[in-house]
Structure 1
Amino acid sequence: MTTDLPTTGRTTGTGTLAFLATSDAEALIARCPGVARLIPEMAAALERQTATAPGLLFDLAPLSDDERLLLNEILGEGEVGATVALPDGVVAEIAESVFAGLWRVRFLGPNNAIIADYAEVSAVPQAVRRAAAMTLPRLDLGDLPAGVMNAPAVLVEIADRAERYRPGEPNHIISLTLMPMLAEDIELLVDRLGTGPVKIVSRGYGSCRVQAAAVHNVWSVQFFNAMDAILLDTIEVGDVPAAAQAAVEDFHDSAIRLREIGEAYFQ
């Protein structure tokens, strides 16, 4: 149900530090006062952010081309990426930076023109939550066909849990891997749950692909090994799955590392 997202290959902070140590970076830094201002502001935002607080946004539109290039090199690309389909053909492209909890978010119009470009400090970007909230309010079970084994019971459980879920409660996890499922069962689940507007890929848990269902508070979460064979196939009912979110400790760690870069190269 989910698909991989394109990456730039900058998946660790090592490349950032190597770049900043070059003479080319020194000349670029001198031309980028906007980035010098943003780094401590972002670090401060990370320091005060919590898992449930609204995202703190930094508009990158005013930056020059050089400043945007430098910021891209500093932030790099972390473990989580997402695409979010919004109304009127708008798509949000989201990439976690190497500083967990600090995201790059771009909104593209139908002609791929950039509508908005910003950085966000949050557990998961607001665009993900807003799009997920646009899904159907409840699961319509309809008539369940004969010839299936466990899908009807699973659908009833999903419908009940999704309707009773309240923000702040832990997600309810249903492991499809641990129960006998016919091909017809899987087909029925895919058909009834549908495909929602959010696709997320996390490389921090081996490989994890998260797909919002067309029903509110329902997610497909699949874990794969290095050979791209599925290890665990689950349905989560509740908030955006933890595999796609920054943890509380991530904010503190990212704040320290980003502030160190600011103090070493921008003062």
Structure 2
Amino acid sequence: MLMNAPAILNEILQALKDLYQKGEEHIIYINKIPLTEEDRLAILDVLGEGQVKIRLESKTQPAEWRETGVYGVWIGVFFDRDNKPILETIEITTFPHMASSQREDIEESIRLLEERLKVLLQRDA
């Protein structure tokens, strides 16, 4: 029996409109909503399968995002150290933020690349 699938799909539709018209992104924490197995299957069936899959290989909190067949809608799953799902999301965005490079990582990469470039130039001199 469908309980919450229609409401979630309507929320996704409105969020897609907001993303398109206002640039606003939205996250639905689906493991915090009571969903029947029929709800889950209906949501996945309506959204369909996309072509992009992103996997974050982290020892502390691996994660995976799958693009759905509806552009701008991503399903994310965060895992614990034992690879058990601990958080499931539906993100309405152009690209999942947690999969993006974080500001502090970019800062570290600048230092790393500067050092590597310095070593290369010293080696070539």
Superposition TM-score tier, normalisation by shorter sequence: 0.7 to 0.9
Alignment partner of 1:207 is 2:62: yes
Taking the TM superposition and a 5 Å limit, the aligned residue runs for 1:167-178 are 169-178=23-32
**Counterpart selection for 1:239 from 94, 103, 107:** 94
Percent of residue pairs bearing the same amino acid type:
31
What TM-score results when the alignment is normalised by the length of structure 2? Answer: 0.86
Counterpart of 1:158 in structure 2: which amino acid?
Answer: I
Unaligned runs of 5+ in 2: none
In the alignment, is the contact (CA less than 8 A) between 1:167 and 1:238 conserved in 2?
no
1:188-210 Cα shifts (integer Å, max 9, x gaps): 01100011111000134711100
Q: CA RMSD in A?
A: 1.9
Q: CA deviation at 1:159?
A: 1.1
Distance 2:94 2:50 in 1: 14
Figure out how many residues of one structure are paired with residues of the other and give that number.
121
Greater shift after overlay, 157-166 or 187-196? 157-166
Poorly superposed stretches of 4+, deviation over 3 Å? 166-170
- Kept in 1: contact 2:18–2:24 (CA 8 A): no
Q: Per-residue displacement from partner, 1:150-175 (whole Å, max 9, x unpaired)? A: 11110111011112214884521111
Aligned match of 1:164 in 18, 29, 34? Answer: 18
Q: Match for residue 180 of structure 1?
A: 34
Distance 1:177 1:222 in 2: 10
Q: 2:114 aligns with which of 244, 247, 259?
A: 259
Higher Cα Rg, which structure: 1
Alpha-carbon separation, structure 2, partners of 1:167 and 1:200: 26
1:98-247 alignment to 2 at 5 Å? 147-166=1-20, 169-204=23-58, 206-247=61-102
TM-score by length of 1: 0.42
Gaps of 5+ in 1: 1-146
Q: Deviations over 1:11-52 (max 9, x none)?
A: xxxxxxxxxxxxxxxxxxxxxxxxxxxxxxxxxxxxxxxxxx
Greater fraction helix: 2
Q: CA deviation at 1:265?
A: 4.2
